[in-house]
Amino acid sequence: AQKVTQAQTEISVVEKEDVTLDCVYETRDTTYYLFWYKQPPSGELVFLIRRNSFDEQNEISGRYSWNFQKSTSSFNFTITASQVVDSAVYFCALSEAGGYQKVTFGIGTKLQVIP
Amino acid sequence: GAVVSQHPSWVICKSGTSVKIECRSLDFQATTMFWYRQFPKQSLMLMATSNEGSKATYEQGVEKDKFLINHASLTLSTLTVTSAHPEDSSFYICSARPTGTTKKAQYFGPGTRLLVL
């Protein structure tokens, strides 16, 4: 069975601070995909990143960066110099590689960036 | 990029009525679509996998007779909440996986908020 754990349910930071959102996953698959999504108050899911299990290179996209460590089954997400617009719920998710590729979501981390 | 729409975006209905939610892939075909439910301040939970031309596969604990899924074409899946009750009030989100591609992406719709009075 697949499981995604986001231990931080809510985080508050002051604008311009850096913040890291933790994600730990469990799967028996050797090939899988990891995702991060942003869900602003409007509810629509915004895709941020998809990473396959064979690619452990860290990735940076603007103020966003991701640290994938297979050894610890973690896929952490860091926002540098946070902004108020970053306030949202962030979901980490895991998908099987074969079959229908069902996505299992973590419970989400609510990030509040205070001006 | 790939776009998925949902209709309606908001629906309020009386208890005991049925509500149909549509999920459309606008610029690609999707053999497989997924339906999720999200209760307030909770995560998205997969309800069922919808397959074009065949029966949907429901997750454990989801009543297939209550949540009817019809995937009649490669661009449309519908979820009908039958005899809705207040506890069915939730945010329903669909996703679609493009057909005929090696990419493992799923594209999510904007969601439908259902309030049952």
pLDDT digits (tens, 9 = 90+) for A39-77: 998 888 888 988 889 888 888 889 999 999 999 999 999
What's the pLDDT at A22?
A: 98
What's the pLDDT at B102?
A: 57
Both tokens of B98, joined, read: 């493009």
φ, ψ for residue A34 (rounded to 5)? -120, 145
Give the mean pLDDT of B82-110.
Answer: 86
Q: Are B13 and B81 in contact (CB under 8 A)?
A: no
What's the pLDDT at A21?
A: 98
Both tokens of B75, joined, read: 């661009």
Give the model's confidence band at A1: pLDDT under 50 very low, under 70 low, under 90 confident, else very high: confident
What's the pLDDT at B34?
A: 93
Cα of A33 to nearest chain B Cα, Å:
8
Contact list, A95 vs chain B (CB under 8 Å): 104, 106
Contact across the interface for B46 and A104, Cβ inside 8 Å: yes
Contact list, A100 vs chain B (CB under 8 Å): 32, 34, 49, 57, 97
**Residue B115 pLDDT greater than 90, yes or no:** yes
Count contacts between A and B (CB, < 8 Å).
49
**Residue B103 pLDDT greater than 70, yes or no:** no
CA dist A91 and A2 (Å) reads 15
**Residue B104 pLDDT greater than 70, yes or no:** no
**Residue B1 pLDDT greater than 70, yes or no:** no
Q: Any chain B CB within 8 A of the CB of A111?
A: no
What's the pLDDT at A99?
A: 59
* pLDDT tens digits, one per residue of B27-52: 899 988 999 999 988 899 999 998 88
Q: Any chain A CB within 8 A of the CB of B5?
A: no
Residues in CB range of A48: below 8 A, 6 or more apart: A35, A36, A37, A38, A64, A77, A90
